[in-house]
Amino acid sequence: MYQQETAFSGPDTWRETMEQKLMGHTGAACEDAVVDMSPDKSVLILLKHCRDMKQQETRLRLITLFLLLGCTALFIFTLCANSRQHGNSGFSGQGNPAEHSLAYSKQECSPTETAQNEFQSVRNDLRSVFENNVDDKTYMKWQSVIGENYSEKDRAVVIPVTGFYFVYVRFALRCHDDDEGFKTFSVQLHRLPFGYNDNVSLADSRDSIKCPSERYRTVFVGQLFELEEEDQVKVSLREGYKLIASSSFGIFRV
């Protein structure tokens, strides 16, 4: 009687029975899932994930290191190949390596040697040459001690290169036994520009010596001038030629 009553009960009773069964199965499944996902298992999963990421990062670092080493080796190999190629090309021309080396050294040293030669070529030091029966107002005659730019015909130093030059002239004066009173001495530095016929005065000096009480006196004239190529520089004596005991004349490029 009970089974028949349950089987043939109304639709509402059957639906309630099915809902209770479904709810019972769902609750049991959720409880199983919660039990399966325990805290220890979550920590293990997290640790495994971190370990995998660290291994991947280590692999990436190793790959990057290998790439850098490869690029460095390639760069060094390229440099060595280029240097070897240039070294071989330096001796690939005609002549032996010693000739090439000598030519290269000459080429490298030529500017310095040229500058030194120019400096030496414009350095002049001269000593006076005394002449008999010479009146005042004359150009001094010199003998070259250093340098080759002195023109005996013009009695002048010829400037080979345009530039700044220091020009000087020094006189040692003395009184003779028969000299009395003040004796005057006068000298000028003259420049004759290239292509001109008139001399230009560069410097002028005047002095006097009292004879016989003052036996010796020194007169010096020196100054820096800008001179051009082929200019002539000479010493013009105006007065007091017989008072000269010795003299020197010099010019050099600065």
Q: Is 98 inside a domain boundary? A: no
Residues 133, 14 within the same domain: no
What does the pLDDT look like over 163-172, one tens digit per residue?
A: 999 999 999 9
Q: Please write the tens of the pLDDT for every residue from 23-60.
A: 554 444 444 444 455 667 777 888 888 888 888 888 88
Tokens read off for 227 = 């001179």
pLDDT at 128 > cutoff 80:
yes
Residue bearing tokens 């029966």: 133
**Which is nearest to 138 in space by CA: 238, 246, 232, 245?**
238
Q: Torsion angle of alpha carbons 194, 195, 198, 204, nearest 10°?
A: -10
Average the pLDDT over each of 113-122, 147-156, 182-191, 243-252 and give the range with the smallest value.
Answer: 113-122
Q: 15-31, pLDDT tens digit by residue?
A: 555 555 545 544 444 44
41 part of a folded domain: no
Q: What is the structure's pLDDT at 142? A: 95
| Rounded-to-integer distance, Cα 208 and Cα 213, Å | 13
**CATH assignment at residue 219:** 2.60.120.40
141 lies in a domain? yes
d(Cα 127, Cα 51) in Å, to the nearest integer? 98
Q: Does residue 81 fall inside a structural domain?
A: no
**Residue-wise DSSP of the chain:** -HHHHHHTS-HHHHHHHHHHHHHHHHHHHHHHHHHHS-HHHHHHHHHHHHHHHHHHHHHHHHHHHHHHHHHHHHHHHHHHHHHHHHHHHHTSSSS-HHHHHHHHHHHHHHHHHHHHHHHHHT-EEEEE---SS--SSEEPPEEEEE-S-EETTTTEEEP-S-EEEEEEEEEEEE--TT--EEEEEEEEEEEE-TT-SS-EEEEEEEEEEEETT--EEEEEEEEEEEE-TT-EEEEEEEE-GGGEEEEEEEEEE-
Task: Identify whether 55 is part of a domain.
Answer: no
pLDDT at residue 4 is higher than 50:
no
Question: What does the mean pLDDT of the chain come to?
Answer: 77
User: Is 65 a domain residue?
Assistant: no
User: Hey, how many other C-beta atoms are within 10 angstroms of the C-beta on 1?
Assistant: 5
Query: In the structure encoding, which two tokens stand for residue 164, read together?
Result: 């700044």
Please tell me whether residues 133 and 243 are part of one structural domain.
yes
pLDDT of residue 192: 95
Q: Which domain holds residue 189?
A: 123-253
Model confidence over 63-113: pLDDT tens digits? Answer: 988 888 888 888 888 888 777 765 555 444 444 544 544 444 444 445 555
**Domain contains 13:** yes
Instruction: Indicate the pLDDT class of residue 180, thresholds 50, 70 and 90.
Output: confident
Report yes or no on 89 lying in a domain. no
Residue 232's pLDDT is 96
Number of domains in the chain: 2
